Amino acid sequence: MSRIIFHIDVNSAYLSWEAVYRLQHGEALDLRTIPSAVGGDPVKRHGIILAKSLPAKPYKIQTGESLMAAFQKCPHLTVVPPRYELYLKSSNALIELISDYSAHIQRYSIDECFVDFTDMVMLYGDPVETAHVIRKRIKKELGFTVSIGISSNKLLAKIASDLKKPDAVTTLFPEEIPTKMWPLPVEELFMVGRATAPKLHFLGIETIGDLANYDLEVLKGSLKSQGVLIWNYANGREDSQVKKSNRLAIKSIGNSSTIPFDIDNRKEAHLMLLSLSEMVGMRLRDSQYLARLVSVSFKTHLFNSSGHQRKFEIPTDHTSEIYRVACELFDELWDGTPLRHLGVRVAEFCENDFIQLHLFDSSTDERKQRLDRVIDELRGRFDPKVIMRGAFVGSGIKPLTGGVGEDDFPLMSSIL
């Protein structure tokens, strides 16, 4: 019997949960009916857009862009700050409702999950009809909407849930791939991001169908193992299992440090960011999460604070990737004022088993992950100081060796 997999994705999750909460507590205006967004600090206009309403789409507001850019596109945009405790409670309520229909639920991120419905078909009957029952119950009982994708594997179910939004059920079985998936722009394929898409366009690949029917040997020559991976994805091939999971008990992982002397040059600042990124990366890997967001913060010698954040193209737990983006963020923000405090934080977690199996887009990435794991193992088995990057030698910057960082945010772990 072919597997039946659901991917259930909350529509504009943070914004929907904010809107429902505010309506339940007497607010007359539904944020979902006006150009609105959740993200950052709306007063200082710092941070990024985490979720947006449908009425914000005509203004081309993009998830992940800065608040400043969003306000330039839509000056009357209503922005509210995020409340992660509320979002986790809403997510828990969603999982509890879905558990009425299957025990095999993988909580992929705070606003989406995979459900193995295969063994429940005999009990509930037609999967599409059951998905509509679940969709309607969520809307009626919890007040927000979801999109549900149905297929024979997790990849196609995830793509299916994106095909029609909001408040919809869509199938994407293997026989439907040529008509439903292949006409889509290649950028809409999972694991084809900003770095990979231009390489595909250079090869004349514009749609997912172009990629699916492209010469695999040519793709191997141009994109190495990443080419094989996305070629298989374009043909709907993916076989990871739905693993029962109910984690996501933390909101972010971060480390920060107050520096005993003023940092007034970029090289020393980057070394400090490397030290912080090493600690964050090690603890991120230990948590078995991948992060979608990284942020950098600092305080000057005059105690003025600044911060900047950005989403990764592909969720990651690589120290080198965290460090690379952290340096980019810092360089965009710092004006040369002497610094006394620096911090690096990662957030917006997703589970790593769906991506981790296929994470490597080149042999370089494979080497990076092996290096990360070896360093983690050595430091855990012996002493955090047993191995140190050569960049720190003679620099005056000591690599961090502590455990819990100053910026950790445990998030209501007793709920889970």
The verdict on 16 and 144 lying in the same domain is yes
Q: Report the sign of the C-alpha dihedral through residues 261, 347, 40, 411, in that order.
A: negative
What is the tens place of the pLDDT at every residue in 59-78? Answer: 999 887 888 889 999 999 99
pTM: predicted TM-score of the whole model, two decimal places = 0.74
The pair phi, psi for residue 108, each rounded to 5°, is: -75, -40
**Residue 156 in domain:** yes
Task: Tell me the CATH number at 46.
Answer: 3.30.70.270
More confident residue, 263 or 209: 209
State residue 219's pLDDT score: 94
What is the average pLDDT across 336-352? 88
Residue 162's closest CA among 177, 142, 135, 181? 181
How far is 289 from 284, CA to CA, in rounded Å?
6
Q: Where are the beta strands (DSSP E) in 31-74?
A: 36-38, 51-52
Q: In this model, does residue 362 exceed pLDDT 70? A: no
pLDDT in tens, 153-209: 999 999 999 999 999 999 999 999 999 999 999 999 988 887 889 999 999 999 999
Q: Which of 18, 65, 112, 278 is catalytic?
A: 112
Q: Which of 92-96, 111-115, 205-209, 373-377 has the lowest mean pLDDT?
A: 373-377
Residues 312 and 335 placed together within one structural domain of the fold: yes
Number of folded domains that form the chain: 3
Backbone angles phi, psi at 396, to 5 degrees: 85, -10
Helix, strand or coil for residue 338? coil
The rounded percent of the chain whose pLDDT value lies above 90 is: 56
**Using alpha carbons only, how large is the chain's radius of gyration in Å?**
22
Beta bridge partners of 245: 106
The CATH number of whichever domain residue 382 belongs to comes to 3.30.1490.100
CATH number of the domain within which 208 lies: 1.10.150.20
Quote the DSSP letter at residue 164: S
Tell me, yes or no, if 112 is annotated catalytic: yes
Answer for the pair 172, 181: CB distance below 8 angstroms, yes or no: yes
Pair 15, 141 in one domain: yes
**Residue reference for tokens 């063994």:** 119
Residues 170 and 38 grouped into a single domain: yes
Residue 105 predicted with pLDDT over 50: yes
* In-domain check, residue 376: yes
> Do 156 and 70 share a structural domain?
yes
Residues 130 and 85 in one domain: yes
pLDDT at residue number 355: 58
211 and 338 share one domain: no
Tokens linked to 30:
């539904």
Cis peptide before 410 (omega within 30 of 0): no
Q: Is the pLDDT of residue 51 over 60?
A: yes
| Structural domain harbouring 308 | 250-415
Amino acid at 82: P
Shared-domain flag, residues 173 and 186: no
